[in-house]
Amino acid sequence: MAWMALFFSLTTPFGIATNMRISNVYKENSQTALIVEGVFSSASSRILIYMVLMDLFVGS
């Protein structure tokens, strides 16, 4: 449990700093940004569909 707290406390500032660097060069309507957003959206929806189906079929 302690290693999880240590991992969180080390990675959170790194994530914030990365976000601050990326937000300076991010262009909302660029082709790359739209592709990345589409890939992430499709991946998250696939995970949601998988979880729902596993809950329905395995749970019964």
| Domain boundary assignment for the chain | 2-59
CA–CA separation, 5 vs 46, rounded Å? 29
Two structure tokens written together for 17? 């700093």
* Tens digits of pLDDT across the chain (60 residues): 789 999 999 999 999 999 999 888 888 899 999 999 999 999 999 999 999 999 988 866
pTM: predicted TM-score of the whole model, two decimal places: 0.56
User: For the CA atoms of the chain, what is the radius of gyration?
Assistant: 17
